[in-house]
Amino acid sequence: DAKTTQPNSMESNEEEPVHLPCNHSTISGTDYIHWYRQLPSQGPEYVIHGLTSNVNNRMASLAIAEDRKSSTLILHRATLRDAAVYYCILRARGDNYGQNFVFGPGTRLSVLP
Amino acid sequence: DTAVSQTPKYLVTQMGNDKSIKCEQNLGHDTMYWYKQDSKKFLKIMFSYNNKELIINETVPNRFSPKSPDKAHLNLHINSLELGDSAVYFCASSHPTGKYNEKLFFGSGTQLSVL
C-alpha cells in the first residue's frame, strides 16, 4: 500500500495562511493525492485532489512537489471553522470502489482566535 | 436536504444484542460504502456496494451484514454485538465516473457503544 505521513498536529492563528505537509515517498506514477478533512463530530469531507500539477479550488490549494514525494495543502486564510483533522490519502488508478482508500490519523489543525 | 444521512446518530446497546444502522443518500450516486473509525481515529473501509451489488468486503466478521434494498440505501446490520464493535460507523457514497478520481460524500456518523 502507498502510505502517507503527516504531522500529528499543527496550530495556526485565525486569518493567517496554513501549510499542511504530507510525505508520500513511495507514491507511484498513477497515484492521485487526495485531501479530506473531518470537522468535530462530522464525517470526512472532500477538500481537493491532484496528480502532478498544483490545484486550486474555493476551499484550498494543493501544491505537489516536482518529484511527487510530498505535497502541501494550503489554506489561504484560516478561520475557526477550519479547525479539523486533515487527511492526506493516495488513491491508485486501479483503486475502484475504495478498497485501498484508508484514512490514517491525519493532522489535527487548531486555529487560534 | 442532507446528502448522506444515517440513523441513529448514537447507539448504546448491550453485548450480544443485534442492531441496525440505516443510510440513505439523495445524490443519485451508484456506489455506497460503510467505513469504521476506531479509537485511534483510523478510518477503514468495511464494504462497498455498486448498484445494490456487493463489490468490496474487507475482513469484517460475518456478524456484520450490509443490505442494499436500492441504490439510494445501504443499511448495516450487526448481530451478536461485541465490546470491540464500539466505534463510529460512517456511511458514504460516490458516483464512479472516474472511479479512482471520485469524491466520497460521508454521512455524519453513528457512534456505537457496546456495554
Task: State the SS3 of chain B.
Answer: CCCEEEECCEEEECCCCCEEEEEEECCCCCEEEEEEECCCCCEEEEEEEECCEEEEECCCCCCEEEEEEECCEEEEEECCCCHHHCEEEEEEEECCCCHHHCCCEECCCEEEEEC
* Mean pLDDT calculated for residue range A32-50: 93
pLDDT at A97: 62
* Cα dihedral value A29, A49, B3, A43, nearest 10: 90
Task: Please name the residue of chain A whose CA is at the shortest distance from the CA of residue B41.
Answer: A105
B54: confidence class by pLDDT, cuts 50, 70, 90: confident
A45 to chain B: which residues are within 8 Å by CB?
Answer: 105-106
For the stretch A46-55, pLDDT in tens is: 999 999 999 9
CB contact under 8 A, A103 and B94: no
Is the per-residue pLDDT at B60 higher than 70? yes
Is the per-residue pLDDT at B99 higher than 60? no
The answer to whether A29 faces chain B, any CB pair under 8 Å, is no
